[in-house]
Amino acid sequence: MSDVVEKTLTALPSLLSLDSQSGAGKLSSTSKLGGLIRSITELTSKHEEEKLINRELAAIKEQVSSPNTSMRQMKEIMVRAIYCEMLGYEASFSYIHAIKLAQQGSAIEKRVGYLAVSLFLNESHDLLLLLVNTVLKDLQSTNLIEVCMALTVVSQLFPKDMIPAILPLVEEKLTNPKEIIRRKAVLALHKFYLIAPNQVQHIHSKFRKALCDKDPGVMTASLHIYLQLIKENPDSYKDLTGSFVAILRQVVGGKLPVDFNYHNVPAPWLQIQLLRILSLLGKDDQSTSELMYEVLDESLRRAEMNHNITYAILYECVKAIYTIYPKSELLEKAAKCIGNFVVSPKINLKYLGLKALTYVVQQDASLALQHQMTIIECLDHSDSIIKRETLEVLFRITNVKNVAVIVEKMLDFLKLCNDDYTIIDLVGKVAELAEKYSPNNEWFIQTMNVVFSLGGELMHPDIPNNFLRLLAQGFGSEEEEQQQLRVFAVDSYLTLLESDTAHLPQRFLQVISWALGEFSYLKDGLEPCKVTKLLAKLLDERNVTSESRSWILSAMAKLSAGPGAAALALQVSERYSSSLDTVLRQQALELLHLSQDPELHARVLPHGAAWDSFEVDSSLSFLDSFVSEALSQGAAPYKAPHQRQEELRQEKALSLEPYSISLPVSLSSCSITDRQSPTLLSMSSSLSGNSNELKAGSSTLKLEGVKRVWGKEGYLHQQDAVEEAAQVEEAATPALPLSPQQGGAESQQTHGDLTVVEQEKQKLASSLFVGLGSQNSTFLMGKSDSTSQQFRRKTRAADSTSSGVSERSSSSSHSSCSDFLHNNLLEDSQNSLNTQKIGVSNGTHEGPVTQSFQTANGIPEEDGEELGNPLPVIVDSDVASIGTETSKETSPFLDAGMVLVQPCSPQTELRDFVQPGSSGITQTSLRSQFPPELSQLPHSDISLLSSDHSLSLSACRAYRDDALLFVIILSNCSQSSTNGLSVQLDCKQLKVASLRGNALENLPAHSMSVCWYALLMEEPHTQVTVAGSVSYRAVPGHTQTLQFTDKLFLTDFIRPLTLSTEEYGKLWLSFSQDVRQNLKLIQGEGDPLRATLSALKEQLQLHIVDIIGSEGIVACRLLPDSPCLLHCRIHGGSLAVWLRSPLLSLPDCLLYYCQKTLEEC
């Protein structure tokens, strides 16, 4: 039959020319669908429409279930059913018939059937399984159109677990003579790659063939896959750079058939795809980037026509130029191009220009300076999307000096915004800026007040948490500063509470009550009973949630000691001691006790106690006697719910066959929550009333364990860029120069002939773009700013030190502030004054700053930060909190994982291998530098990471049983010694569980030092990139930075797991994540199973538990302790592997390496 069709198809073009507009003009006005549509348009109300459609659906239902309906009628019915569904009415009864139509209909009917299926069904729909056979059949059809339809539906929706069934057929289509089929097959494989990457891993070579396809369409399609692959792993495809460049050159040169032109531009889609790929390949890679400079230049030049599509290409070009290793000539051209975008009268181009600016200003802030007037105009644009984009640019260029103006602009926008997503995003950004660059305490508190009121319940819980932590631990190291901040906070909160509180969000109320409870004693002359009264008033408000009430009650408990407060406390506690909410009741009773017993109160809630004076006994050891007593009386030992559940599962599992399919119950997730709850419960009950932790532990807003991330580093300010430092004062005045008199008076001298409006804009510009000017030269060279590196390396505390210092500078000049307002811009002497102050603040960084942190759950921690000492230990704050988390679990290696920096004596032979140019790094000589505990470990080859004229970095991986050690060898190859050396390593995907950096004061000439990080992989990744930097001072006062990156693979973190067969069996049943795949078997002498398994064992550090007949069981663990079990069986010439693990993606990742290993064997 399909043969007939194909024949008629070839014979038909002549026939068709008679009816050239086959589909056009036919409005099928006589069809039933036409009737339906017409009658719907005649209706007047939604209700009538509903009635009509329901009638229609009933008719359809009757027709589809009638056995007499032909497939042709069915096709027409399906179209109507689709229409009804599009109007929002459900026609689920027709789904099965859609599948039937796709299965049984002829080609035309099939097409509608497939369309209906792809519109009706979801990827997880059960009925989809019925489609698999149809697709299989159609893929094998000799009819071109049927094959096309099958490929289309496959890329639209296909059940993930059925992909292996059709994969061979789709692969086969890659060699089909028809290019349309090849193209669709490539795109279908792209889709498969997206939803199940490890299924298509073995056909990478075929992708390469598709890339070389003689049909440009197929080649274009294959680029989608390459873009994805290169995004994940650019290093493996560097060799293709030349080919991509060649393709792009041909496209740009107009070598493709005219068919591919779009509005006279040669293959724009292809161009853009290639530009994206090139920018990924050239990122941070000078030699690769050099290959593409020429073609990028060519693309920029060619894309001159005034059409949207050329602008799209230009935009992509600019992005590529700024992503790859910089070349100043191209950067200039790209910057010019962005300029054209930004000033364009076309609003879409303006938008894109701003987007490009956002991308670019991170590297070259001067560009924002060039376009400052445009940015100011866009800030007042009538289109809020443009405004939003402009704020994004401003966010990236914020520094200490312009923060006030920029934050105010952002808050203005927020006040008018009603999109939740935008609010969450912007509020987070404002909070980040405020914390990072706050000019003074008062401003900070006021800004955060607005943030809390606007952000409401939407904002990220980290914001209030961080804020409270900041209040508690202080902004800087200065006690005075800290107290000032708190007093400001208390003051402003009291004012807020005295006015109407109904509109304040709950989160804000919680922050307010905590701060008042904690710090109101700091304010002189403030009666605690006044605060208590205000709080009590708040407590009675109708719209206050019980969570907030519990915060308020704990605040009252803290304040209940003062005279007069006791009576009020009594009153409140009486009311709430009968509350139905148990938490509130408990707190009310605590309040009662505390208010009546001043001694107890003083002991439990001392004023202003140091943060580390509280210790939480998280093991609840004080209950030991009680427990042992209960046990001796025959009580059953306590088991956590997850333990009980697991036991239950195991009992059940006994009745099952050992390797039967277990449904992927999300055990891991449910046990996690279960694991949490008991500890939480016991925590809050044990804590209640006996410590400050009450406020954190008892309510859901937990401070413990929250990572202290102060936002990603955005634009980092430079303290030495003090060109217009005097404007700090101006920026600090929150009232923006929108009052024309003031603005006019100030700028009269400089811009005498400008209109008032322009003057305002000028003024705004000068306050927005202050502090950007002097940096462009360093940025253009592609170096990151050297001074800001200091900040980046340092912990938050150091960061806040800087702001603390600058605060001091501004507050010390507070008295003369009013004078500044009138002559600030012109006073040169003032500038120099500020320069001095900032000089002081720089000095502070270098001096020893010691700070002790204490995490919120009360475990004291001494993390010293002494930059000046020779063997310092720096712990970043978030690492500190990680450390606390792990110390609660079992992590003996934390103690062992200290960073040691060992300076070595100068050696003559060093000069030979540390020269960056000379490739011969003598491994042995490097290895000889290893301290004994390292040299005994197995480790990888030492490779050169990065180097410059004075320092060279090498690294290797050492495999310790409990961690992967990333060993960095620093060698000073210059003639002079380097100072202030400091290493920083950064990887979000790994747990850098040991200490993270070190600063060696001096590394003498021609000497080297070795340090290492212990790394753990908690979340499986096939590979991760670690990036880091070493900063040092070769010349006094000038800090240089050497960046490096390296790749670590999953296999680096895999260790054998030794267990017995019985233990294996037990574990096997308890894991929920499993994956199965057939792998290649190594055919060698002897038993192929043994040979294959031992090959895997060698390469991947697995442990072979047992081999019985044709089956083998193998176990390993991912550091720190995530097991993965493999069950291998010979099955028809291949190795059927079944992996199980408690971690979601571990089996997938491990399988990838098994596959790779066996392919390579």
Partner 1 sequence: MMRFLLLFSRQGKLRLQKWFTPLPERERKKIVRDMTTLVLARKPRTCNFLHWKDLKIVYKRYASLYFCCALEEQENELLALEILHRYVELLDKYFGNVCELDIIFNFEKAYFILDEFLMGGEVQETSKQSIANSIEASDMLQETMEEYMSKPAF
Residues between 376 and 395 with contacts to partner 1, criterion CB under 8 A: 382-383, 385-386, 388
Residues in region 1129-1148 near partner 1 by CB under 8 A: none
Strand, coil or helix: what is 243? helix
Closer to partner 1 by CB, 261 or 812: give it.
261
Q: Which stretch binds partner 1 (CB under 8 A): 114-122, 949-957, 994-1002, 1060-1068?
A: 114-122
Member of 97, 173, 182, 190 binding partner 1 (CB under 8 A)? 190
Residues in region 479-518 near partner 1 by CB under 8 A: none
Shortest distance (Å) from residue 632 CB to partner 1: 55
Residues in region 12-71 near partner 1 by CB under 8 A: 12, 15-16, 19, 21-29, 33-34, 37
Strand, coil or helix: what is 498? helix
Residues in region 754-783 near partner 1 by CB under 8 A: none
- How many other CB atoms are there within 10 angstroms of residue 196's CB atom? 17
Closer to partner 1 by CB, 429 or 991: give it.
429
Is the CA virtual torsion 391, 392, 397, 399 positive or negative?
Answer: positive
Kindly give, in sequence order, each residue whose CB lies less than 8 Å from that of residue 757, ignoring residues fewer than 6 positions away: none
Closer to partner 1 by CB, 355 or 927: give it.
355
Per-residue contact flags (x/-) with partner 1 for residues 338 to 367, judged by CB under 8 A: ---------xx-xxx--x------------
Written as six digits, the tokens of 157 are: 């929706």
Residues in region 240-259 near partner 1 by CB under 8 A: 259
Closer to partner 1 by CB, 104 or 816: give it.
104
Residues in region 260-289 near partner 1 by CB under 8 A: 260, 262, 267-269, 272, 276
Member of 111, 387, 436, 837 binding partner 1 (CB under 8 A)? 111
Closer to partner 1 by CB, 191 or 601: give it.
191
d(CA 232, CA 220) in angstroms, rounded, equals 19
Closer to partner 1 by CB, 215 or 861: give it.
215
Q: Which stretch binds partner 1 (CB under 8 A): 1-9, 557-565, 607-615, 653-661?
A: 1-9
Member of 58, 96, 108, 305 binding partner 1 (CB under 8 A)? 108
- How many other CB atoms are there within 10 angstroms of residue 631's CB atom? 12
Kindly give, in sequence order, each residue whose CB lies less than 8 Å from that of residue 786, ignoring residues fewer than 6 positions away: 778, 1031, 1038, 1039, 1040, 1041
Per-residue contact flags (x/-) with partner 1 for residues 604 to 643, judged by CB under 8 A: ----------------------------------------
Member of 315, 395, 437, 791 binding partner 1 (CB under 8 A)? 315
Q: Does 304 bind partner 1 (CB under 8 A)?
A: no
Shortest distance (Å) from residue 420 CB to partner 1: 9
**Short-list 146, 149, 153, 89, CA closest to 121:** 153
C-alpha neighbours within 13 Å on the C-beta side of residue 226: 32
Q: Does 196 bind partner 1 (CB under 8 A)?
A: no
C-alpha distances out from residue 1101 to 314, 978, 1114, Å: 49, 40, 10
Shortest distance (Å) from residue 112 CB to partner 1: 6
Query: H helices of 157-178, where?
Result: 163-172
Strands, E, within 907-1037: which ranges?
943-947, 951-960, 963-972, 978-986, 991-992, 997-1003, 1008-1016, 1023-1035
Residues in region 127-186 near partner 1 by CB under 8 A: 144-145, 148, 152, 155-157, 180, 183-184
d(CA 454, CA 412) in angstroms, rounded, equals 11
Cβ–Cβ < 8 Å for 157, 128: yes
Cβ–Cβ < 8 Å for 836, 748: no
Closer to partner 1 by CB, 191 or 469: give it.
191
d(CA 1108, CA 1127) in angstroms, rounded, equals 11
Shortest distance (Å) from residue 347 CB to partner 1: 4
Kindly give, in sequence order, each residue whose CB lies less than 8 Å from that of residue 939, ignoring residues fewer than 6 positions away: 956, 957, 958, 959, 965, 967
d(CA 895, CA 368) in angstroms, rounded, equals 48
d(CA 1043, CA 948) in angstroms, rounded, equals 10
Per-residue contact flags (x/-) with partner 1 for residues 542 to 561, judged by CB under 8 A: --------------------
Cβ–Cβ < 8 Å for 968, 926: no
- How many other CB atoms are there within 10 angstroms of residue 587's CB atom? 29
Site for partner 1 (CB under 8 A): how many residues?
Answer: 83
Shortest distance (Å) from residue 386 CB to partner 1: 6
**Short-list 1004, 991, 1001, 1026, CA closest to 951:** 1004
d(CA 429, CA 397) in angstroms, rounded, equals 13
Closer to partner 1 by CB, 385 or 656: give it.
385
Kindly give, in sequence order, each residue whose CB lies less than 8 Å from that of residue 521, ignoring residues fewer than 6 positions away: 528, 607, 608
Residues in region 976-995 near partner 1 by CB under 8 A: none
Closer to partner 1 by CB, 27 or 661: give it.
27
Cβ–Cβ < 8 Å for 76, 116: no
Which residue bears the tokens 């956590």? Answer: 640
783: exposed, middle or buried (Cβ count in 10 Å: 0-12, 13-18, 19+) = middle
Taking every pair of Cα atoms in the chain, the longest distance, rounded to a whole number of angstroms, is 104
Shortest distance (Å) from residue 403 CB to partner 1: 24
Member of 32, 202, 224, 939 binding partner 1 (CB under 8 A)? 224
Q: Which stretch binds partner 1 (CB under 8 A): 116-124, 961-969, 1026-1034, 1132-1140?
A: 116-124
Q: Which stretch binds partner 1 (CB under 8 A): 306-314, 818-826, 926-934, 1121-1129?
A: 306-314
Closer to partner 1 by CB, 56 or 481: give it.
56
Shortest distance (Å) from residue 4 CB to partner 1: 8
Bin 261: left if φ > 0, else alpha if -120 < ψ < 50, else beta: beta
Query: H helices of 397-527, where?
Result: 403-416, 420-437, 441-455, 462-473, 479-498, 506-519
Shortest distance (Å) from residue 190 CB to partner 1: 6
Closer to partner 1 by CB, 49 or 962: give it.
49
Cβ–Cβ < 8 Å for 358, 392: yes
Q: Which stretch binds partner 1 (CB under 8 A): 130-138, 309-317, 459-467, 1026-1034?
A: 309-317
Closer to partner 1 by CB, 259 or 889: give it.
259
Closer to partner 1 by CB, 213 or 863: give it.
213
Q: Does 86 bind partner 1 (CB under 8 A)?
A: yes
Shortest distance (Å) from residue 314 CB to partner 1: 9
Closer to partner 1 by CB, 217 or 528: give it.
217
Closer to partner 1 by CB, 144 or 859: give it.
144
Closer to partner 1 by CB, 159 or 678: give it.
159
Cβ–Cβ < 8 Å for 1026, 966: yes
Cβ–Cβ < 8 Å for 977, 1003: yes
Shortest distance (Å) from residue 241 CB to partner 1: 20
Per-residue contact flags (x/-) with partner 1 for residues 405 to 444, judged by CB under 8 A: --------------x-xx----------------------
Closer to partner 1 by CB, 260 or 614: give it.
260
Shortest distance (Å) from residue 590 CB to partner 1: 43
Written as six digits, the tokens of 51 are: 């009635």
Cβ–Cβ < 8 Å for 414, 405: no
Amino acid making up residue 312: A
